[in-house]
């Protein structure tokens, strides 16, 4: 075979490959277009079904809430998922009102049965819907499944399960949820705090206080914030205990920031000479809440601190001490020899007079 013939054969092969490639690419594009069209049509169909479901069931659910369930139609199987969505939407929007009629209707329609099935076999969206539904229905039969879901690697699943457990039985739910705080680094502080706020402080404070006292140092700051967020500070002396024992600056700062126990006053006073400025700052603020005339000299010394925030919080604390009138405060300001002390007291007094 000569060179020209070989070149022709190679050219024909390259041409064939190019043609087949174009055909294959065209088929892939066509398949993608068909898939997009199919998904679009499916979305429009679901949207149409949703609109129909809302129009049908929202007035009925409203009627049930008003005490009239005589004309409630049969729930068709194909409507179940959308009915559950609308039922939950109305349940959440009316939280705090008498929702027993809605719960009775859900029981009558065996929504708990459908929710259990979705919980075990559904996709993520349906599993979340199932968890929310079981919580709103206060479905005790789902207790063990929801406890197990607290360990789910998906934080959305585990947090939603925690919320549902609180709705079912907050007193016993906190016994399971609070220990999980240390295990779930993926749980956001705000979400956990909102869930715990739904429980009675009497149910959570003891468990939360024990966990905060025994937790590793790096976990204590967050737990202390939970104690503050859930209004437990007046129900436990754990803040005082942690403040007395800790050697961690950050933990000490948070304790000083939130402490409200007058019995801790002597411990607070020890931190006014701490080497870290943020600890001194929070100690000064704590003296403003808990202190007496005995702390005036200490606070005046802190108004000359090298750090502006320490000086500012100390001056604010002085204005909160008992038995000091505005005239007394101005006299104290005028007696200070340190420029920083006079300036910060003048600044805070100006703020006080504007209030």
DSSP 8-36: HHHHHHHHHHHHHHHHHHHHHHHHHHHHH
DSSP state of 7: H
Q: What is the pTM of this model?
A: 0.75
Q: What is the pLDDT along the chain (355 residues), one digit of tens a residue?
A: 555 565 656 576 777 777 777 787 877 887 888 787 776 766 555 555 556 666 677 777 777 777 666 667 777 777 788 888 888 888 887 766 577 888 888 888 888 888 998 888 878 888 999 999 999 999 999 999 999 999 999 999 999 999 999 999 999 999 999 999 999 989 999 999 999 998 888 888 888 999 999 999 999 999 999 988 888 877 678 899 999 999 999 999 999 999 988 889 999 999 999 999 999 999 999 999 999 999 999 999 999 999 999 999 999 999 999 988 889 999 999 999 999 999 999 999 999 876 4
User: Which residue's structure tokens are 């968890």?
Assistant: 131
What residue numbers bound the domain in which 253 lies?
237-355
Q: Are 283 and 256 in contact (CB under 8 A)?
A: yes
Residue 322 lies inside a defined structural domain of this protein: yes
Instruction: State both tokens at 171.
Output: 């007193």
Instruction: State both tokens at 222.
Output: 């967050």
Q: Which residues contact 199 (CB under 8 A, 6 or more apart)?
A: 166, 170, 171, 173, 174, 230
Residue 141 lies inside a defined structural domain of this protein: no
pLDDT attached to residue 14? 76
Residue 48 lies inside a defined structural domain of this protein: no
Listed residue (259, 211, 213, 257) closest to 233, CA to CA: 259
Residue 21 lies inside a defined structural domain of this protein: no
CATH of residue 323's domain is 1.25.10.10
Residue 279 lies inside a defined structural domain of this protein: yes
Listed residue (186, 195, 181) closest to 156, CA to CA: 186
Residue 76 lies inside a defined structural domain of this protein: no
Helix, strand, or coil here: 248?
coil
Domain count, the chain: 1
Taking the C-alpha atoms of residue 106 and residue 321, their distance in angstroms, rounded to an integer, is: 58
Residue 36 lies inside a defined structural domain of this protein: no
Residue 228 lies inside a defined structural domain of this protein: no
């Amino acid at each position: 075979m000569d060179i020209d013939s070989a070149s022709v054969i190679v050219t024909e092969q390259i041409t064939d490959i190019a043609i087949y490639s174009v055909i294959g690419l065209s088929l892939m594009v066509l398949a993608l277009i068909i898939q997009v069209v199919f998904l679009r049509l499916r979305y429009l169909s679901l949207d149409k079904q949703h609109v129909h479901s809302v129009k049908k069931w929202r007035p009925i659910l409203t009627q049930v809430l008003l005490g009239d369930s005589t004309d409630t139609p049969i729930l068709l199987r194909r409507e179940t998922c959308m009915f559950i969505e609308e039922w939950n939407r109305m349940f959440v929007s009316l939280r705090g009102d008498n929702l027993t009629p809605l719960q009775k209707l859900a029981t009558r329609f065996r929504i708990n049965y459908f929710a259990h099935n979705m919980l075990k076999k559904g996709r993520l969206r349906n599993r979340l819907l199932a968890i929310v539904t079981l919580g709103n229905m206060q479905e005790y039969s789902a207790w063990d499944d929801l406890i197990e879901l607290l360990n789910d690697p998906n934080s959305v699943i585990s947090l939603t399960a925690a919320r549902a457990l609180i709705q079912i039985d907050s007193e016993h739910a906190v016994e399971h949820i609070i220990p999980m705080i240390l295990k779930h680094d993926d749980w956001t502080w705000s979400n956990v705090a909102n869930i715990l706020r739904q429980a009675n402080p009497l149910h959570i404070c003891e468990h939360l206080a024990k966990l905060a006292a025994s937790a590793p140092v790096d976990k204590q700051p967050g737990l202390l914030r939970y104690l503050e967020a859930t209004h437990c500070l007046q129900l436990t002396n754990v803040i005082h205990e942690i403040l007395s024992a800790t050697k961690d600056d950050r933990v000490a700062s948070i304790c000083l920031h939130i402490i409200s126990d007058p019995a801790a006053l002597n411990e607070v006073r020890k931190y006014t000479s701490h080497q870290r400025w943020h600890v001194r700052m929070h100690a000064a603020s704590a003296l403003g809440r808990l202190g007496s005339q005995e702390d005036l000299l200490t606070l005046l010394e802190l108004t000359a601190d090298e750090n502006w925030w320490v000086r500012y919080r100390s001056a604010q604390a002085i204005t909160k001490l008992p038995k000091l009138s505005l005239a007394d405060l101005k006299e104290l300001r005028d007696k200070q020899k340190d420029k920083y002390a006079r300036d910060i007291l003048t600044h805070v007094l100006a703020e006080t007079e504007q209030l």
